[in-house]
Chains A and B, each alone.
Chain A
């Protein structure tokens, strides 16, 4: 029994101490995110420094793995101890939370900083729900870049980046003939999924892409053009090595870094791996965002949502976070470390690397912006489509059957 009393006393003392110090911490904000690797940590440091300099106190809660972090955020909201801000993606992941009234909005900050004028349309559409701004965007990632090893290209006799899908296949053949693995690939379901919608956007075109994800157009899915697209996607399978199933995406990038493989289709976060290996864009590796000068630029990204807290001090902290995250200086500093591009085009991009500068330039062309699938469909439907794609990629299922399965999933989802 005495043990309980002293334990209670200790808890009380700790509680008092924490309570006391909370007053001394102005604008204390606990931020829950999933950025835990070396490069990501450096990027978060930029956000935290900017926030602290603006008069806030950043308390870090990092949990690796997007699903883990998001579910931890939801669990804490359910349990009554929500963080001040929680990371999500520009997607439909947090719509249910809005419906259940569990998020604060940041309309005040959005109005003050003219978000509707400086943010690109796909981002605006994913953070403005029913007329209110429920999330602050922090970066834009593009999941459909092409990364290639310059020594590998040289060895295969490829002198220029491919401008059409046919040229791409020809280059893959040249790589194969030179004894290099043409396409570095990681056979995990999510990688197969993003390769598919990257291929759909670049080869099928923005029209076909939007008909699938935004319109859920059954006629398009049954059309011969879509089936041809599925077939050409499956054709990529001839160019991956037999060890590709289960491989982490980093290991696939490592193949490009070491010149063992020629090309990888991956998001711009791959730059982190190249940077860790001390390789620079334009020297040891190259990057291009698609085929030709009008290739679509897929827009995906990270946002922070603000759980419903009524304490005015916390609300003030939430609004300060939203302001700091979107300021031009923070955006540039953060994007530089993160490998993403800023959410606003009115910033100075000299500090960013070659590929990022290319991305920012493309974003200025509104016609090339394409929202990523998770902005358009629910996580459930995205999962169902992922199951279909991974089955199509890994078995000898026909394009017809895959198209039928996709149509069925679109109808139910």
Chain B
């Protein structure tokens, strides 16, 4: 990978302009739904009912945002999505750490040590990623209940770790496949054992792909609704449950401005993670994608 960023080739001026026009238009198209969401979240319901989707708010009101955070009704309580925020954090942090750790370990063992027959397990694991979660609920509920973990924080962390394993293992396995085998052999000759090489050599080298994994897992677990609903128990319900209670209703009235504000607020956490690790993201995926 080149460290210097020298210009590739000189592009003719019209082509350069065409390039910017294309990117600009694409950016506008991508931003259009965001515009509608933000505009709707700043309008009062009377204006939304009139149905002018793309119009700017006549008078901007921040009340929906305050309501979404603090006072929207989510059942008996009307405390907004704030109530579940700390629960989501408590779930996301250990789940992300554990699933990435296991994914790295699996990828390392599969890539370098290659015990015979492990490849078959890996293939089944990746196939498992295609199964919708709902199908696996009942047996998992029974199993977790038997272990006394159903409806507990360790239980939901375990579930997220298990379900994150396929993609995480795939990501790390591909990354380590791009690491030169000589490095590993040299470490073995120097007397390194399984764990020493992992902790002292491979993990420090994996920083870019770890950041990628963090982004994917934080997004997936933060936005997860079903698994948190089923396995987290009454005391640890994540923010997405409150979000669902605000947005979804069978026969209740819908406050679209509050719904949009609540969704935007919820998405701020993954977005912040993206922004904070933007440059790492690109660098990291590169190595992981060497061998598909």
Contacts and interface: CB of A to CB of B under 8 A. Distances in A.
Interface centre among A7, A81, A258 (most CB of B within 10 A): A81
B73 A61 contact: no
Given A78-B142, A248-B254, A277-B45, A41 B78 contact: yes
A61 B248 contact: no
Interface string B243-271: 01111111111110000000000000000
B142 A37 contact: no
Contact of A254 (B49, B74, B241): B49
A48 B152 CA distance: 26
Contacts of A45: 76
A216 to B, nearest CB: 27
A26 B290 CA distance: 62
Interface in B178-236: 229-230, 233-234
B250 A66 contact: yes
A307 to B, nearest CB: 14
Nearest to B143: A79
B76 A60 contact: yes
B165 to A, nearest CB: 21
A131 interface: no
Given A38-B252, A45-B76, A76 B245 contact: no
A78 B141 contact: yes
B247 A64 contact: yes
A401 to B, nearest CB: 31
Contacts of A41: 73-78
Contacts of A59: 234
A250 B150 CA distance: 37
A162 interface: no
Interface in B107-157: 137-138, 141-142, 144-145, 150-152, 154
A273 B46 CA distance: 12
Contact of A62 (B46, B76, B230, B255): B76
B75 A33 contact: yes
A34 interface: yes
A40 B150 contact: no
A37 B142 CA distance: 32
B5 interface: no
B254 A37 contact: yes
A304 interface: no
A239 interface: no
B50 interface: yes
Contacts of B73: 36-38, 40-41
Contacts of A258: 49-51
A264 to B, nearest CB: 14
Contacts of A250: 253-254
B252 A37 contact: yes
Contacts of A257: 49
For chain A, the bracket of interface size reads 35 or more
A64 B229 contact: no
Contacts of B229: 63, 68, 72
B241 to A, nearest CB: 7
Nearest to B248: A64
A63 B247 CA distance: 11
A269 interface: yes
A177 to B, nearest CB: 22
B76 A37 contact: no
B75 A44 contact: yes
A39 interface: yes
A40 B248 CA distance: 12
Interface string A75-86: 110111100000
A311 to B, nearest CB: 17
Nearest to A3: B94
Interface in A96-152: 141
A282 interface: no
A11 B72 CA distance: 31
A12 to B, nearest CB: 12
B27 to A, nearest CB: 28
A59 B244 CA distance: 19
Contacts of B50: 258
B195 to A, nearest CB: 15
B173 to A, nearest CB: 27
A317 to B, nearest CB: 16
B275 to A, nearest CB: 30
A276 B46 CA distance: 10
Contacts of B45: 276-277
A30 B75 CA distance: 13
Contact of A61 (B145, B234, B246, B249): B234
A293 B137 CA distance: 50
Interface in A270-304: 272-273, 275-277
Contacts of A58: 76
Interface of B: 45-46, 49-51, 72-78, 137-138, 141-142, 144-145, 150-152, 154, 229-230, 233-234, 241, 244-255
Given A33-B75, A65-B244, A79-B144, 15 more contacts: A7-B154, A36-B73, A36-B245, A38-B252, A48-B76, A59-B234, A60-B77, A61-B75, A62-B245, A63-B241, A64-B249, A68-B244, A248-B254, A273-B253, A276-B45
28 contacts: A11-B152, A30-B234, A33-B75, A36-B246, A37-B249, A37-B252, A37-B254, A37-B255, A38-B73, A38-B252, A41-B74, A41-B77, A41-B78, A64-B248, A64-B250, A65-B244, A68-B244, A75-B230, A76-B151, A78-B138, A79-B142, A79-B150, A81-B151, A250-B254, A258-B51, A267-B251, A275-B253, A276-B45
Q: Considering the complex of A and B, which 4 residue pairs feature the smallest CB-CB distances, nearest first?
A: A62-B75, A37-B252, A60-B76, A41-B73
